[in-house]
Amino acid sequence: MQARATACQSLLLTSQKKEFLADLVTGDEIWVLYNNDTQRADWISRGEEPPVQPKANLHEKKCLLFCFWEAKGMLYYELLPQRRTVNATTYSNQLASLALALREKRPRRPAVYLLHDNARPHVAKATQATLQELIYDTVPHPPYSPDIAPSDYHLFRPLKIFLKEKRFAKYEDLKMAVFDFFDSTSAAFWKKGIDDLPMAHSFD
């Protein structure tokens, strides 16, 4: 709890700096499924046996989606092929791709405050070396605190709603659906996700 309180206080202080929210980049990841059917609710009479629901498939097809975004929109995202996970090398390569996107999309604003969680690939020595090379300031984020991460409290739920009841036979189809979601979001959507960050931290 102390680490969480300290991180929240630190962000609230930093957010008072001019251009902090404009310079902020947040990154996160989520599993996206090929089959997004939801279990239906069945009305049953008193004394009637409920229908047997199929058990969750622990080996269902899914891909890991990484995304980095800012107040003006998506900067860089990558949908890893099925069964691929991430390590420090993969994440460092993604940071390099993010750097290219930043140079293209905001060449006159070199300052970057990077907010990501404390997953092992994010704190590995190789990743830290990449961050130092890129001269990114890392914003402290307490462990086990998805409720104060912009992707978790703002981005991923609408993505899940967009994919709800959809099925995809191929990786390319799933990738296109993810693109369609990002492409359909408004500028106001992205701005609100970042603008709400100080408020999300102020509850602690």
Q: How much of the chain, in percent, has pLDDT values that exceed 70?
A: 78
| For residues 59-79, average pLDDT | 94
Domain residue spans of the chain: 2-32+58-202
Q: Mention every residue, 6+ apart, whose C-beta is less than 8 A from residue 137.
A: 111, 112, 113, 114
What's residue 182's pLDDT?
Answer: 98
Q: Is 197 exposed, middle or buried (0-12, 13-18, 19+ CB in 10 A)?
A: buried
Q: Does 106 or 199 have the greater pLDDT score? A: 106
What's residue 185's pLDDT?
Answer: 97
Q: C-alpha angle 69/73/78, rounded to 5°? A: 50
63: how many CB neighbours lie within 10 A of its CB? 21
Residue 101 and residue 66: Cα distance in Å, rounded?
Answer: 14
Contact 64, 154 (CB under 8 A): no
* Domain 2-32+58-202 CATH assignment equals 3.30.420.10: yes
Contact 177, 163 (CB under 8 A): yes
Residue 27 and residue 52: Cα distance in Å, rounded?
Answer: 40
Q: Characterize the bridge pairing of strands 24-33 and 62-70.
A: antiparallel
Residue 34 and residue 12: Cα distance in Å, rounded?
Answer: 39
pTM: predicted TM-score of the whole model, two decimal places: 0.82
| For residues 186-197, average pLDDT | 95
Side chain identity, residue 108:
R
| For residues 111-129, average pLDDT | 93
Q: 45: pLDDT confidence band, cut at 50, 70 and 90?
A: very low
Q: Mention every residue, 6+ apart, whose C-beta is less than 8 A from residue 125.
A: 88
What's residue 184's pLDDT?
Answer: 97
DSSP symbols for 48-95: PPPPPPPPP-TT--EEEEEEEEETTEEEEEEEPPTT----HHHHHHHH
